[in-house]
Structure 1
Amino acid sequence: MTDYDVGYRKPPKSSQFQKGRSGNPKGRPKGTLNLATAFNRALSEKIEVVENGRKRKMTKLEVAVTAMVNRAVKGDAKAMQQMLVLSPLVGLESAPAGQLPETDAMVLKGLLESLHAGELP
């Protein structure tokens, strides 16, 4: 008998992987698409748009954002809400956190004084 037994979880030496050779020589395909990659590719595609009578190339993301802003300016409540949600995420806050514009601070100060004086219910 040989010094190596063949059986359960012991394949014959001839069918085992050879030293220095991978069991998966081609490996995982590089650049397989996931949802984020596909989404980014779709949004970064350029399309031709007519703006103010002139043809212009813009990414699909730019077109979508421009359309949303235009709808919000025309008074679309849903578009306004989307803008309010997205603005802080992209860093478009008008005042740094914790600071109020002067007019807002004056209004709040007046309300607090009225509250302390007992003029407000």
Structure 2
Amino acid sequence: MSKRQRTCVPLGADESGSADYEVGYGRPPRASRFKPGQCGNPKGRPRKPKTLMEAVERELDCTAVVREGGREKRLTKLEVVSRQLVDASCRGQLGATRLLLREMGGTAAAKADLSSNLMPASAHLIDETDRQIIASFAAMIRAGAQIDPAAAVNASADDDDADALGEAGPPQQGFAASLPPPACH
């Protein structure tokens, strides 16, 4: 296999109009060559199809002009949406609160802040009735009693019916039988 050697001739010296210029492999006619600054692939590589998430992310990064306190501010649309979500949650919209808590639930610091702010320790006061219920339940667990969920549900339903009629119900089985009736707080 033999390779054809090309001679290096400066572009200005080999005019297609001159008699010694030979058109051939690697030597196109001067008129069909790319002009200086012209790209060989003007349309470029075709773009891949955009997904919905890419389009949403790109749109959330765009800025929007927002009036706040009589002044105009430039914020990204993501910042605007997050402010609206927090405001809706503060107004008491449960769906916004759930979404906000779910999105914040990823960080341990957010969980710690939310748990300390939502349920203060003073809200969990235990009175004597609660202590009796806990003690009797712990005794049943230590004794190895089997808890039948169906019996517990039926027993609590029977208790409610008997309380409504003012009657004492029949003897019951399950963990609800050994617990004292709950007192209203």
> Of 59, 72, 80, which aligns to 2:97?
80
Amino acid corresponding to residue 103 of structure 1 in structure 2: A
User: In 2 relative to 1, CA 59–120 (structure 1 residues): closer, same or farther, beyond 3 Å?
Assistant: farther
Report the equivalent of 1:60. 77
Structure of greater Rg: 2
**Percent identity among equivalent residues?**
27
User: Shift in Å at residue 27 of structure 1?
Assistant: 8.3
Indicate which of 39, 43, 57 corresponds to 1:40: 57
Q: Deviations over 1:29-64 (max 9, x none)?
A: 356522222111011100000112211111111101
The equivalent residue for 1:117 is: 135
Q: Give, as a single letter, the amino acid of the residue that structure 2 aligns with 1:83.
A: L
Cα distance in 2 between the residues matched to 1:33 and 1:80: 31
Q: 2:111 is matched with which residue: 93, 101, 110?
A: 93
The CA distance in 2 between the partners of 1:77 and 1:102, in whole Å, is 20
Gaps of 5+ in 1: 1-24, 96-100
**Compared CA separation, residues 120 and 73, structure 1 to 2 (3 A):** farther
- TM-score when normalising by structure 2: 0.38
2:112 is aligned with what amino acid? Answer: S
Q: Match of 1:89, SS?
A: coil
Q: Show the counterpart of 1:15.
A: none
CA–CA distance in structure 2, aligned partners of residues 58 and 68 of structure 1? 15
Q: Does 1:71 align with 2:88?
A: yes
Aligned positions, number: 92
Write the letter of the residue equivalent to 1:88.
Answer: G
Quote the RMSD (CA, aligned, Å): 3.7
Counterpart Cα distance in 2 of 1:117 and 1:90: 36
| Alpha-carbon distance change, 88 to 120 in structure 1, aligned in 2, over 3 angstroms | farther
Measure, in 2, the Cα distance between the counterparts of 1:33 and 1:90: 30
- Structure 2 gap ranges (5+): 1-40, 114-118, 137-178
Q: Deviations over 1:48-106 (max 9, x none)?
A: 001122111111111011011101111112211211221113662225xxxxx8828x9
1:114, distance to aligned residue in structure 2 (A): 4.1
| C-alpha separation in 2, matches of 1:53 and 1:94 | 36
